[in-house]
Amino acid sequence: MTFRYKDGVQGAAIGPVCLFVFTYNEHELLELALEPSPAVLLEHARRQGWSPASESYPLAEDCRDSLEELGDSAASFFVRAPDLTPLERSQSEELVRVPFEKLTAKLSQEGWVFVGGLFSEFEGNHDDTKIYVALRRPG
């Protein structure tokens, strides 16, 4: 799989790059007749992990260069709703932390290096909320 980074640089030019995804699977929850509230999403996210992306995704347009920037993108989606109760706000903040804690563990345990990433919001009938990251092996 090639990864188009900003400025059109192909993955091969910066070393072998693999694309991983963390999905919140809202559509799966809806099929189970579960409302994807912050509490339900959080429970589901805790069971999820990062997996190789089955689809190719051109990250060039909205690619974030750091984990902090990528986390800020996710936080602006989950925590921005003005009508969240204090409990829902806390759960929403945790929804952002969970995948990044798992990603940090993956980076340290498996030796990957973060190249870039993209946060993709839930779209009604089209797609679940996902976080894509491009990782490469050092060297």
The per-residue pLDDT for range 34-65, each reduced to its tens digit, is: 676 778 888 888 998 999 887 665 555 667 88
Q: Give the number of other Cβ atoms within 10 Å of residue 72's Cβ.
A: 14
Task: State pTM to two decimals.
Answer: 0.79
The domain ranges of the chain are 6-136
Residue 103 has a pLDDT of 96
Helix/strand/coil (H, E, C) string of 57-71?
A: CCCCCCCECCHHHHH
Average per-residue pLDDT in the chain? 78
Q: 14 is written with which tokens?
A: 């910066």
Q: Give the number of other Cβ atoms within 10 Å of residue 25's Cβ.
A: 19
Residues of the chain with pLDDT under 70: 1-15, 27, 30-34, 36, 55-62, 122-126
Rounded distance between C-alpha atoms, residue 137 and residue 70, angstroms? 20
- By CB neighbour count within 10 A (0-12 exposed, 13-18 middle, 19+ buried), where does 103 fall? buried
